[in-house]
Structure 1
């Protein structure tokens, strides 16, 4: 008797759109803060925890279920970045007690992580993702530098890089969603 193999088609949605949306909105909110548009941390913390953190963790787990290692690592990794960043802002000893050196090194490590993922996007060849990850690495390195050398203008530059990153990630997320319903936005 021969065995019969039944293949079940995966008809679930693309978790990349959710992950990129969470990442883009949290990044945009932080960029506005870093550029001095508003001084308070609460909107940044809320976006970091619930949109950047939880939405990306969920997207990472959904990508894992689909067998997509790149998206699993990227979304889960940056989901925990946003949660850990929020913790730095709300911890009892808060960010004021964290040194510029420690924050700079923290951000530098995330930039190195992002660079590893950038190499993956180059193999994928999706231009929109390449732009997102180039801007991501640039943002982390400029932000890290703003803490390591403490030049105020670098803080604004980091916020502007983050704004470009958030806008590129938002475009990519919306392109995924809108292309699925019939638009043909370039990716």
Structure 2
């Protein structure tokens, strides 16, 4: 048996995490935007637990040996968001005051806002995901606090935009890697689009 060192290349977990985030966000946002009734929530919860939460947790843990603090923090955090959201809807929704739900969403918006600041030197596509997401969280929080359905609908559309950006970035990462060239541009900072 040889003692030769075989170099290990870690795969990029970002497309997995982004896809789990995008798909779950899209489904929930269709309800928030008013495209579907709350009857669709059971599918959102199943996806939040099985894909949105779990895939992002896996992606976040995979970012650790790569030394990607941002990726690990983002994916583990948003994976935990989806798990906490599913647990809240399944078991606690009638036991938490609406104003407190607003604070839950607001604090996720605050977290997302400083994560967005951390993207300023990253690809434009990633900046857009986080920009749209913090706005979405703040709209949804305001909707909970004010009881204005229009804010929840606006948050739903913000979530759809966020999901579209995340799907695009996931697709670009996978397709560009598979073709070993830029097929779908992600826009490096300062690059022309």
TM over 0.5: yes
Q: Distance in 1 between matches of 2:101 and 2:31?
A: 17
1:185 maps to what in 2? 184
**Runs of 4 or more off by more than 3 Å in structure 1?**
6-10
| Secondary structure of the corresponding residue to residue 65 of structure 1 | coil
C-alpha distance in structure 2 between counterparts of 1:103 and 1:79, whole Å: 18
Q: Show structure 2 runs of 5+ residues with no match.
A: 187-193
Instruction: Within 5 Å, give how 1:1-187 maps onto structure 2.
Output: 9-39=7-37, 40=39, 41-91=41-91, 94-124=92-122, 126-182=123-179, 183-187=182-186
- Is the alpha carbon distance of 1:7 and 1:106 closer, same or farther for their aligned partners in structure 2, counting shifts above 3 Å? farther
Give SS of 1:66's match.
coil
Distance 1:8 1:117, change over 3 A: farther
Give the paired residue count. Answer: 179
Deviation at 1:48, TM superposition (A): 1.1
Question: For 1:58-77, what per-residue CA distance to the aligned partner results, in whole angstroms no more than 9, with x for missing partners?
Answer: 00000012111110000000
Deviations 1:6-25 (A, max 9, x none): 98744121000001000000
Cα RMSD between the aligned structures? 1.5
CA contact (8 A) 1:33 1:44 kept: no
Structure-1-length-normalised TM-score: 0.91
Cα distance in 1, alignment partners of residues 185 and 20 from structure 2: 21
Question: Is there any run of 5+ residues in structure 1 with no aligned partner, and where?
Answer: 1-5
